[in-house]
Amino acid sequence: MIENHGYVGETHQIITDDGYILTYYRIPHGINDDGTTQKPAALLVHGVTASSADFVAMGPDRSLAYILADAGYDVWLANTRGTAFSRNHTTLDPDVDTEEFYNFSWHETGYYDLPKAIDYILELKGDDSLHYVGHSQGTTAFFVLASTRPEYNQKIKLASLMAGAAIVKHYPNILIQELCKYIDRVALLLNRYKIYEYPLVKEMRDFVSTTCADPSSNEICDYIYNMKFSGDGFRVEEEFLPVIYTNNPSNTGMKQYVHFAQQVRDGGFRYFDYGTEANLELYGSESPPDYDLSKISAPVAFYYAINDGLITVEDEQKLMSMVPNVVHDYLISYDLFKHGDFLYANDVVELVYKELINVMMTY
């Protein structure tokens, strides 16, 4: 997709300490740049059921990856473990060893994937720090990284976080809130029926992308988009929907959803809850410990929406009060701007990206 849009693209494979083979894509320079000058690296990390494709799906002038490349950054696109582009392992077959392969949440993304990727990028470039840009669960992984591996804070020039997802006590959907109260029972059912990977992902992608390629199905596609991204106002041109749904949803493990549901239930930002006995063995306490966000020393910029649909302003402001080095607090006050709009909205460049890049350029 990158080369089809006229940019230089590279593929890099990174192996984590626990054996996951991650595929990262690189856009080393802008479309009108010859690539002869050294550029600061910007690592873009996607959310749950997303992938690197979501940062390039809207094409030049609309996608954050291309805009950053044209602004003078060496752009690296993450694909976290278990997603379609990083569904590989040195010893495990995800189709055979599914339970073991998908035995991770976003904790492992932050604790294992990100340190390895950051070291790989910095060593290749000969630099000592880079920019971090995350959306949704991509921000969650940053909070895990910076709190559990605090030595990596010095390797982050600036963390630019869109729809920061850590405190989700006031999750807007009441039905989801109620369901999260029973997440332990839900997790037991998932294990009983051996549902370790988000089910029927490829079938969903094929069905929706094919359906949305038919102009007569625009109304259905609008509904699917708004349902997926908690929207109530359609703000993406129909012509882009087949492209978006070609890669989204991406493969992902169900344990990530269980871990998020635990945060909704408990109202904090905690390690995975394995139950009293296992918690005592793993953590030395009956309940999982909180992530110590006071250890985050990297400068952090927050970008959040007044009516996100998934992340509330109240929860985001609580989160910001727990992070020591918040250098920028940017609220999008447009009511129709939703969670997925940080990636796809027809006005996201004006509403978010220009501000985000202007702040990045000061670091």
- The pLDDT tens digits along the chain (363 residues) read 899 999 999 999 999 999 999 999 999 999 999 889 999 999 999 999 899 999 999 999 999 999 999 999 999 999 999 999 999 999 999 999 999 999 999 999 999 999 999 999 999 999 999 999 999 999 999 999 999 999 999 999 999 999 999 999 999 989 999 999 999 999 999 999 999 998 766 676 677 667 666 666 666 666 665 555 555 554 677 777 777 777 777 888 999 999 999 999 999 999 999 999 999 999 999 999 999 999 999 999 999 999 998 999 999 999 999 999 999 999 999 988 999 999 999 999 999 999 999 999 999
User: For position 248, what pLDDT does the model report?
Assistant: 73
User: For position 227, what pLDDT does the model report?
Assistant: 56
Of residues 105, 136, 147, 250, which has the active-site annotation?
A: 136
Could you confirm whether 136 is annotated as catalytic? yes
User: For position 183, what pLDDT does the model report?
Assistant: 97
Of residues 70, 273, 308, 341, which has the active-site annotation?
A: 308
Could you confirm whether 339 is annotated as catalytic? yes
User: For position 85, what pLDDT does the model report?
Assistant: 96
User: For position 187, what pLDDT does the model report?
Assistant: 96
User: For position 161, what pLDDT does the model report?
Assistant: 99
For the chain, domain boundaries: 3-360
pTM of the model: 0.93
Any idea what the Cα angle at residue 329 is, between residues 323 and 333, rounded to 5°? 135
Chain-centroid distance of CA 21 in Å reads 18
Within 13 Å, how many C-alpha atoms sit on residue 237's CB side? Answer: 9
User: For position 250, what pLDDT does the model report?
Assistant: 83
CATH architecture of 3-360: 3-Layer(aba) Sandwich (3.40)
User: For position 24, what pLDDT does the model report?
Assistant: 99
User: For position 230, what pLDDT does the model report?
Assistant: 52
